[in-house]
Amino acid sequence: MSFEPSPTPQATPPQKSWIGRNWIWLVPLILVVMASPIVCCGGLAFFGFNVMQAPLTAATDAINADQRITGKLGSPITRGSSMTVNNYTNNNGNGGATIEFNVSGPNGGAQVSGRMALTAGKWRPDGLTVTCDDGTEFELPEQQ
pLDDT digits (tens, 9 = 90+) for 78-91: 988 777 777 888 88
Which residues in the chain belong to E strands, given as ranges? Answer: 78-91, 94-105, 108-119, 122-132, 137-140
Judged by DSSP in three states, 93 sits in: coil
Name the pLDDT band for 113 (thresholds 50, 70, 90). Answer: very high
pLDDT digits (tens, 9 = 90+) for 88-103: 888 888 989 898 999 9
| C-beta separation of 60 from 129 below 8 A | no
Residue 11 lies in a domain: no
The span from the CA of 128 to the CA of 138, in Å, is 8
Segments forming the whole domain that contains residue 27: 18-140
Residue 69 lies in a domain: yes
Strands 94-105 and 78-91: antiparallel
DSSP lists the bridge partners of residue 140 as 128
Which CATH number fits the domain that encloses residue 91? Answer: 3.10.450
pLDDT digits (tens, 9 = 90+) for 33-79: 998 888 888 777 666 666 678 888 899 999 999 899 999 999 899 98
Residue 61 lies in a domain: yes
Around 50, how many Cα atoms within 13 Å sit in the side-chain half-sphere? 6
DSSP lists the bridge partners of residue 126 as none
Task: Tell me the pTM.
Answer: 0.66
Alpha carbon of 101 to those of 78, 86, 110, 124: distances in Å? 11, 11, 9, 16
* Total domains in the fold of the chain: 1
pLDDT (average), residues 2-22: 77
| Separation of first and last alpha carbons in the chain | 117
What pLDDT score does 144 carry? 58
Residue 103 lies in a domain: yes
The span from the CA of 41 to the CA of 39, in Å, is 6
